[in-house]
Each structure stands twice: as structure tokens, then as C-alpha cells.
């Protein structure tokens, strides 16, 4: 019986990546930690040349290039002179008129300005998550995408995971019936990052933006990203500046949220109950659950919540008068999800295809995060006013 049920979710034949003949010239904006995760995929992909790298910190772009193989040898093998270095996104884009693509790998607070500048200069953009800090910024980036006609994709690599794709397949199969209530968000017992993640001036938002955006994407993507209508939100930061829990460096700089929660009403009558934590005195704030009129789905929370999966999902049904449940075997994604993220974006850029993670969807993700922050400040539920960017004249 289990095989019969599961056979309806069999993944379609894996599509071979489109053969892209055009070689795209790319620039990396921000040579920090996440840029290092781009290095290996970029070396594996034959149809992209990293011709320029920039960072605000003097020498950082050069050091990154040296450590991650974007050196003279690399340029020679890819048939160009040398990788060039700059001190900001503007300097790089102004001096590199032949760039086709920008990878925005900066901290959250500069995502919007880098994306807008790149799109307005005719570049396709892959922007790291979270999309932006505020909804207003996300709207302006979407407007820039629209006027540019270029591809803008947001760096949610968990979308490329086979288990994540399975969630959408299960919902789309109708096995759950009409989805009406979702509880999502995991969290870490104590996992506050340091670096540029913990200050308003660089990150703008804390756990909500860093890992909350993944939890929201996990379920919103599965149900087709309905528009969020209202939010009642809560944020707190009781751990990040408490020396009992964090080191002196984090303690002295921390000024963002380390816990957030929200109760969100979505178009179509779906309720989303969300919570996310970088730190709490609990192992997990709960699994993700999707309740439908014909079935329920449980997606187990993981210890270090970052959009990954480490336990099988369970489907709950009522069949022939009996309560039944079955597990959906955990899949091992056969290649790096970071490779898939970058390759699928480059394919869209080269072929004029749709962005693998479209900004028009992630605009709603950002609206929820922004709504949680605003509602928490105001102390009551708010209505979300999301401009219809793609319908505007």
C-alpha cells in the first residue's frame, strides 16, 4: 500500500540542465563567507567567467580571489586577461561595462542598493537571502527588476533540495486536500552567529531574516505563495546581549532579534503560524505541519535550522474508517544545492527563462518579515499593504 501511495509522488525524470553555449561575464559583490560557497560551483560551471570581484574592505576581494582560485591561471584557462578588483559595487559596475551577471553576496543591509544598481545597469542578478531588510526595499528592487527586463533570483538554495521539492509535490498532488493551517519555523537552542549577522547597520534583522526566511519559503513555496494579508508579530532579543549565552564580541555588538513569531492570514483562507529562534531554552519550537482537509504533513524540525532535512516526513490520513500514517523516505540530493542554485540562475540568465527563485514570490516572504517587525513595534495586528509591482503601469 505504501509503495502505491508513494508512487504518485515519484519525481519526474530529472531534467538535464539546459545546454548553455553563451559564456556569461560575472562579478562578485562582497567577498565574505557566502562568496566562498560560490567558488566551487563557479569553478565547475564552464559557461561563466568571474571577471571582477569587489568588497568595501580593502584587499578582501584580492585575498578571496587568491584563496579560492580566481587567479591568473584561472583567467588564462577561461581565455581572458585577469580578474579585476574594486572597492564597491558601484566602482565595479561602472568600470566593467561588459558584465552580464552580478552575484550580490553582501550583508543584508546593502542587498537592495547593490541589486538596484546592477539591474539598472543591465545585469542579471542572483541576490543572497534574505532578499532585503525591509518591504520598501524589496518593492524598489522588484521595480528595478521589472524596468530592467533582466533575471533576478534570490539565493534560497534549500529550494533545490529534493526533499523540499517533495513537499510541493505532495501538496500539488492533492493528497492533503485543501490546506487551511500551517505551523512552521524551527530554531536553534543556542546558535547565534557572529560576524555581520548581529548588527542593525549590517544585518538589519536577526534570526527572522537569517533563518526565518527559509522556514517561510519552505511552506509558502509548497502552497504557491499566496499573498499575505495580515500579521500579528513578536520579536525579542533576550540572549544575544546576555554574557551567560554569548561571547564578549557578540554581547557588545548585538542589536537585532534572536527570536521572532507571527500569526499570518494568507489569501485563500490559509493561516500561517510561524516562529523562529537563534536561541531559546528549548530543544525545538516544533515541527513544521501542514494541515489539509484530506491529510496532514509533518516535516521534522532539525537541530541547526537552515532549511535542511535530516528526518523523513510523515503523511497522516483517514482512509476506509482508519487513521493511517506513512513516512516519505528521506532523499539524498545527488549534487550540491549551491551548484543547483547558481547553475539554474545562469541558465535563466542565458536563455531569458524564469528566475529559479523569483523575486515576485520572495516579495511576499519579505512582506511577512517586515510585517512581523512592524507589528511587534506597534504591539498589535497589522494589515499588509504590498504594492502590486508587477501589475503597475
Ligand X SMILES: NC(=O)c1ccc[n+]([C@@H]2O[C@H](COP(=O)([O-])OP(=O)(O)OC[C@H]3O[C@@H](n4cnc5c(N)ncnc54)[C@H](O)[C@@H]3O)[C@@H](O)[C@H]2O)c1
Is residue 284 close enough to count as binding ligand X by CB under 6 A? no
Could you tell me which stretch among 54-62, 65-73, 137-145, 376-384 binds ligand X (CB under 6 A)?
54-62
Concatenating the DSSP letter of every residue in 12-34 gives PPPPPPP---SPEEEEEE--SHH
Subset of 75-114 contacting ligand X (CB under 6 A): 88-89, 105-108, 110, 114
> Residue 254 to residues 51, 234, 276: CA-CA distances in angstroms?
36, 18, 17
191 neighbors 249 (Cβ within 8 angstroms): no
Taken in order 161, 163, 168, 172, the sign of the CA dihedral is: positive
Task: Tell the smallest beta-carbon distance from residue 42 to ligand X (Å).
Answer: 15
147 neighbors 365 (Cβ within 8 angstroms): no
Helix (H, G, I), strand (E, B) or coil at 322: strand
Number of residues binding to ligand X, judged by CB under 6 A: 26
Could you tell me which stretch among 39-47, 50-58, 72-80, 347-355 binds ligand X (CB under 6 A)?
50-58
Nearer to ligand X, 97 or 149 (CB): 97
Nearer to ligand X, 24 or 256 (CB): 256
- Nearest-CB residue to ligand X? 32
Mask for 208-247, x = binds ligand X (CB under 6 A): --x-------------------------------------
Give the 3-state DSSP-derived string for 268-283, with helices as H, strands as E and coil as C. CCEEEEEEEECECCCC
Is residue 204 close enough to count as binding ligand X by CB under 6 A? no
Task: Tell the smallest beta-carbon distance from residue 132 to ligand X (Å).
Answer: 10
Place of cell 512552521: 184
Is residue 343 close enough to count as binding ligand X by CB under 6 A? no
Task: Tell the smallest beta-carbon distance from residue 155 to ligand X (Å).
Answer: 5
From the list 41, 55, 150, 365, which residue makes contact with ligand X (rule: CB under 6 A)? 55
**Residue 137 and residue 140: Cα distance in Å, rounded?**
5
Task: Tell the smallest beta-carbon distance from residue 281 to ligand X (Å).
Answer: 25
**Residue 93 and residue 346: Cα distance in Å, rounded?**
18
Q: Which three cell numbers stand for residue 24?
A: 556569461
* Number of neighbours of residue 258 by Cβ within 10 angstroms: 30
Residue ranges that bind ligand X, judged by CB under 6 A: 29-34, 54-57, 60, 88-89, 105-108, 110, 114, 128-129, 155, 157, 195-196, 210
Amino acid at each position: 500500500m505504501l509503495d502505491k501511495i508513494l508512487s504518485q509522488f515519484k519525481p519526474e525524470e530529472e531534467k538535464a540542465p539546459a545546454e548553455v553555449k553563451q559564456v556569461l561575464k560575472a562579478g562578485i559583490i562582497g567577498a565574505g563567507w557566502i562568496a566562498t560557497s560560490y567558488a566551487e560551483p563557479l569553478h565547475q560551471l564552464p559557461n561563466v567567467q568571474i571577471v571582477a570581484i569587489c568588497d568595501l574592505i580593502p584587499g578582501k576581494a584580492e585575498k578571496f580571489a587568491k584563496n579560492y582560485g580566481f587567479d591568473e591561471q584561472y583567467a588564462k584557462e577561461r581565455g581572458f586577461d585577469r580578474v579585476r578588483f574594486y572597492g564597491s559595487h558601484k566602482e565595479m559596475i561602472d568600470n566593467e561595462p561588459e558584465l552580464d551577471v552580478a552575484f550580490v553576496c553582501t550583508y543584508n543591509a546593502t542587498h537592495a542598493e547593490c541589486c538596484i544598481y546592477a539591474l539598472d545597469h543591465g545585469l542579471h542578478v542572483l541576490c543572497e537571502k534574505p532578499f532585503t531588510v525591509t518591504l520598501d526595499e524589496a518593492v524598489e528592487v522588484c521595480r528595478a527588476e521589472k524596468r530592467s527586463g533582466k533575471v533576478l533570483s534570490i539565493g534560497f538554495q534549500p529550494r533545490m533540495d529534493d526533499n523540499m521539492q517533495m513537499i510541493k509535490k505532495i501538496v500539488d498532488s492533492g493528497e492533503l486536500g485543501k490546506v487551511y493551517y500551517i505551523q512552521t519555523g524551527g530554531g536553534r537552542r543556542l546558535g547565534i552567529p557572529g560576524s555581520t549577522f548581529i548588527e542593525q547597520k549590517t544585518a538589519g534583522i536577526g534570526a527572522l531574516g537569517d533563518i526565518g526566511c527559509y522556514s517561510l519559503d519552505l511552506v509558502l513555496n509548497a502552497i504557491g505563495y499566496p499573498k499575505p494579508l495580515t500579521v500579528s508579530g513578536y520579536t525579542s532579543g533576550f540572549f544575544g546581549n546576555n554574557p551567560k549565552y554569548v561571547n564578549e564580541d557578540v554581547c557588545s555588538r548585538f542589536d537585532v532579534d534572536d527570536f521572532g513569531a507571527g500569526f499570518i492570514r494568507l489569501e485563500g483562507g490559509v493561516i500561517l503560524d510561524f516562529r523562529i529562534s537563534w536561541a531559546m531554552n528549548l530543544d525545538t519550537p516544533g515541527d513544521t505541519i501542514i494541515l489539509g482537509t484530506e491529510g496532514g504533513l509533518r516535516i521534522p524540525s532539525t537541530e541547526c535550522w537552515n532549511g535542511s532535512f535530516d528526518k523523513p516526513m510523515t503523511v497522516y490520513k483517514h482512509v476506509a474508517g482508519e487513521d493511517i500514517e506513512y513516512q516519505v523516505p528521506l532523499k539524498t540530493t545527488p549534487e550540491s544545492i549551491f551548484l543547483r542554485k547558481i547553475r539554474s540562475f545562469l541558465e535563466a540568465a542565458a536563455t531569458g527563462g524564469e528566475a529559479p527563485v523569483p523575486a515576485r514570490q520572495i516579495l511576499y516572504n519579505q512582506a511577512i518579515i517586515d510585517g512581523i517587525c512592524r507589528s511587534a513595534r506597534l504591539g498589535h495586528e497589522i494589515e499588509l499593504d504590498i504594492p502590486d509591482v508587477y501589475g503597475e503601469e
